[in-house]
Amino acid sequence: MKTLCALVCIALSASLPVRAQDTAIPLTKGLVYVYSGHNDTVDWENLITITELTAAEVTFGVAWYHEGKLTGRNSRRVRLEDMASARRSNDIFQVGDGSIFPGSTMSNISTLLLQELKDKGSAAVVLGTVPAGDKGGFGLSGRKFYRGEIKRVASEPISVLVNGVKRALPSIHTRGVLEVGGDQINVEDWWFDNPAFPLNLRVTQTNGRQSQIIRIDYPDAKVEAALKTTLASPACRAELHGIYFNTGSAFLLPQSDATVQQVAALLKANAGWKITVEGHTDNIGTAAANLDLSQRRAEAVRAALVSAGVSPSQLSVKGFGLSKPIDSNATLEGRARNRRVELARACAK
Amino acid sequence: MRQLSLIVLAASGLFITACGQKPAEPAAASAPATKAALDGNDPCRLLSAAEAEAVLAAPLAVAPYRSYGGIGDRAGLPLEGSDVCWYEAGNRRNLSVTLTRSNGGSVMKGVGQVTDTVEKNTKAKFQDGTELAGEWDEAKVMNGTSFMALRGDSLVEIDTGGSEATPAQIGSLADAAIKRLEAPLPYDSSLSFKAAEAFYAKRPASGDPCSLLSKADVEAVLGGAVQGEPQANSSGDECIYTYATTRNGLQKAGDQGKIPKGTLSDEEMKMMSEFMGALGGSAAIGDAAPGATATDTLVLNVEWRNGYRLYRVSNQMMGSMGAGLGAEMGAAERKALGSSSALTGPWDHAQLSKVQFSSVRSDVQINLRPATLKPEQYAALMTRAYEKALK
């Protein structure tokens, strides 16, 4: 976990108050969540995006990064009836897979199982995963489906950055021993107590798999409204959430699309605003390199906004590098907050 | 086409029997004491005769028995201890059930990897997931005829290539079989083994492909004299007749088996060449030889056993090649390939594409090239060939 959140470079914190009691997250198109984990010597992150949501199905786009480098992309469809009531989950991808596994969810349990955990304290589950030693699915053994019961051991909050705000998401902590053909696996999970989308916030398995969600971004009218309010206020400044770059790169990842579209809509509706897109970094690396990176990232965001229809004359860019931290650079979380993009509106102060 | 078929069959058919694994002991060992003598790994205990008959639309000729798997001319040959169970009706329509009790996930993964490579190279589609939900944890459909269903780490494959089963019917069979993994039917397939051997022995024996059409048969239908004796190829599944022709497509000696000039358009030939090239083969047009005698070649290809499955799989392959689809050849693909199945003759099924004429009857498949003969000529030739093959 040495580079926890290594990929998630830009940050994160919109100037919104923490609303601990308001933790429901909808199943909605454009939602992005990021798993971070560590296998053997490799740090990895998975960026998962809801790319389509119909009356019958949800489609997840998955991008895998190892040590900050894109190693693969895929997608999977899940039926909404399975999101509601399936007992099986399967988030392993293999070459030659079909696009859908009817009867299975992907990285969440169904609403039915969440309710059973809350009501009865246990649930019968089927887990598609790879056995110990399979190197995260790259080995020969292939996917196996383990069966058994998971039991609630506690209700615990899990800290996740949600739309840029650090939130303590309520979770149901479960443990279980699952089995297939004499092969057992101990699983420990923290399920997001969110009936609309009970995500697996954190998982530990005896096959060596450990991961947790570190960040969730989703289109939220309240956040958009807050962005408008903040920019319109005398502060004339707001941080952006939902912007994703490759590590050390100014390549804007497609997971940023929802945020870009939201901001573009706001700026087009306020065509009189003159906005400076500001890039900021943490203090890892030289000041010169960070200054250059922050400038290029600001330019990338500006280019994306222009592509989304914002007038080029409305936007300028400036990179500040590591010169304006808003948090401590001594911690992972602090550095994550310092890596950010801000919008500054030209206004009299 | 022969080489192409074999490659695709091999790629799509990393079938469980090919792994040569002796099935492991079942995870569940809770069978009632009265059934203790039954083999827990007997694949014939997963599907009843009645369930197979419902899909084959005919009664089984012999009770379900263990056999060689669904690929190659030993398919259906009784084999004690096999992980394949064979269900065959009197009309030779058949299906098989293969059980891999453990390491099924590994087999599933291997099949996916190999087939994915072939698909990427050929731009065709031979495998697909399935939209069907069932008692399985995951499922894959190969060539539109083989349903692979994994539950836990046990794999059940229902191969209906020798039948006319629909995907939904295959899914129902797989569902029934999967449900019995932990509670198999009280059935002992060893009791039907001798009857199965007797039944299998009635199949047409493999023989000389040149025995199916005599020189006189060919001359009578094509009107030109066959030059020399018909020549069987080295693998013994093809017979080549060189005959005088008035057709505008002369071929040099040594060009037998190649696609005659004028058969395909440039675009079609390009598609065929790319497809064959991706599979490591070639598709060459026979060249005209300056001053050559006006001769052409007729190539007869015969598969004495497992013809229904071969016919259906090659049909699917041609459909995929024509349209990049996983479906069997439909109207759109037939049009793209200039194929027709509206043929009348002494066969159960036949297809005429721009590549070859293909037919099957009583599980014997006979193909003819070139594809430029008249429909009535194919019918006349096949009448003679099937008379001899099935006598």
A72 shares contact with chain B (CB less than 8 Å):
no
Question: Quick check: B278 and B121 in contact, CB under 8 A?
Answer: yes
Residue B127 banded pLDDT, cuts 50, 70, 90: confident
Which residues 126-155 of B have a C-beta within 8 angstroms of A?
127-134, 137-138, 140, 150-154
DSSP string, A41-56: TEEEEEEEEEEEE-SS
User: What pLDDT does residue A79 have?
Assistant: 97
Average pLDDT rounded to a whole number, residues B352-379: 88
User: What pLDDT does residue A167 have?
Assistant: 87
A126 shares contact with chain B (CB less than 8 Å):
yes
Closest C-alpha among A111, A72, A106 to residue A92: A106
Nearest CA of chain B to the CA of A202: how many Å? Answer: 23
User: What pLDDT does residue B166 have?
Assistant: 83
- Which ranges of chain B would DSSP assign to H, the alpha helix? 2-12, 49-56, 104-122, 167-179, 193-201, 215-222, 266-278, 307-323, 331-336, 375-389
The 10s digit of each residue's pLDDT in A52-81 is 999 999 999 999 988 778 889 999 999 999
Q: Is the pLDDT of residue B364 over 70?
A: yes
Mean pLDDT, chain B, whole residue set: 78
What residue ranges in B172-268 does DSSP mark as E strands? 231-232, 238-244
Sign of CA dihedral A79, A80, A83, A84: negative
Nearest CA of chain B to the CA of A90: how many Å? Answer: 9
Of chain A, the end-to-end C-alpha distance in Å amounts to 43
Question: Quick check: A66 and A83 in contact, CB under 8 A?
Answer: no
Angle at B192 between CA B187 and CA B195, to 5 degrees: 165
Q: Is the pLDDT of residue B299 over 70?
A: yes
User: What pLDDT does residue B21 have?
Assistant: 33
User: What pLDDT does residue A135 have?
Assistant: 58
Structure tokens at B189: 């397939």
The 10s digit of each residue's pLDDT in B208-241 is 999 999 999 999 998 878 888 999 998 889 999 9
Q: Is the pLDDT of residue A233 over 70?
A: yes
Say which amino acid occupies B160.
Answer: T
Mark yes or no for CB contact B137/A88 under 8 Å.
Answer: yes
User: What pLDDT does residue B276 have?
Assistant: 58
User: What pLDDT does residue B320 have?
Assistant: 61
Average pLDDT rounded to a whole number, residues A155-167: 87
H or E element in which residue A227 lies: helix A221-232
The position carrying tokens 């390939």 is B337
Interatomic CA distance for residues B315 and B274, integer angstroms = 19
Structure tokens at B378: 């194919």
The position carrying tokens 């197979």 is B52
Q: Is the ipTM of this complex over 0.90?
A: no
Least confident residue range of B249-253, B303-307, B381-385: B249-253
Question: Quick check: A30 and A88 in contact, CB under 8 A?
Answer: no
Mark yes or no for CB contact A141/B105 under 8 Å.
Answer: yes
Nearest to A142 among B108, B132, B154 (CB): B108
Contacts of B345 (CB under 8 A, 6+ apart): B359, B375, B378, B379, B382, B383
Q: Is the pLDDT of residue B301 over 70?
A: yes
Q: Which of B100, B120, B138, B143 to mutate to test the interface with A (most CBs of A within 10 A)?
A: B138
The 10s digit of each residue's pLDDT in A121-152 is 999 999 999 887 665 555 677 899 999 999 99
Mean pLDDT, chain A, whole residue set: 87
A87 shares contact with chain B (CB less than 8 Å):
no
Peptide bond into B64 cis (omega under 30): no
Classify strands A315-319 and A275-280 as parallel, antiparallel or unpaired: parallel
State the pTM of this model. 0.78
Interatomic CA distance for residues B283 and B273, integer angstroms = 5
Closest C-alpha among B191, B178, B193, B176 to residue B51: B176
DSSP string, A68-89: TEEEEEEEEEEEHHHHHH--EE
Nearest to B153 among A97, A126, A180 (CB): A180
Mark yes or no for CB contact A102/B133 under 8 Å.
Answer: yes
Interatomic CA distance for residues A9 and A158, integer angstroms = 21
Mark yes or no for CB contact A181/B27 under 8 Å.
Answer: yes
Give the number of other Cβ atoms within 10 Å of residue A61's Cβ: 17
Least confident residue range of A143-147, A159-163, B329-333: B329-333
Measured CA distances, A135 to A208, A258, B102, B316 (Å): 9, 33, 20, 36
Average pLDDT rounded to a whole number, residues B247-254: 46
Nearest to B129 among A88, A95, A100 (CB): A100
Average pLDDT rounded to a whole number, residues A27-53: 86
Nearest to A98 among B27, B129, B153 (CB): B129
User: What pLDDT does residue B279 have?
Assistant: 53
H or E element in which residue A192 lies: strand A183-192
Nearest CA of chain B to the CA of A98: how many Å? Answer: 4
User: What pLDDT does residue A347 have?
Assistant: 86
Interatomic CA distance for residues B302 and B284, integer angstroms = 22
The 10s digit of each residue's pLDDT in B130-171 is 788 899 999 998 877 889 999 999 999 999 989 988 878 989
Nearest CA of chain B to the CA of A83: how many Å? Answer: 14
Mark yes or no for CB contact B152/A180 under 8 Å.
Answer: yes
Long-range contacts of A181-188 (CB under 8 A, 24+ apart): A181/A144, A181/B24, A181/B27, A181/B102, A181/B152, A181/B153, A181/B154, A182/B27, A183/A131, A183/A144, A183/A146, A183/B153, A184/A146, A185/A127, A185/A129, A185/A131, A185/A132, A185/A146, A187/A127, A187/A146, A187/A150
Average pLDDT rounded to a whole number, residues B268-284: 59
Question: Quick check: B114 and B11 in contact, CB under 8 A?
Answer: yes
Residue B312 banded pLDDT, cuts 50, 70, 90: confident
Report chain A residues whose CB lies below 8 A from the CB of B111: 96
Q: Kindly compute the dihedral angle of the four CA atoms of residues A113, A114, A118, A121, in this order, to the nearest 10 degrees.
A: 40
Interatomic CA distance for residues B278 and B344, integer angstroms = 35
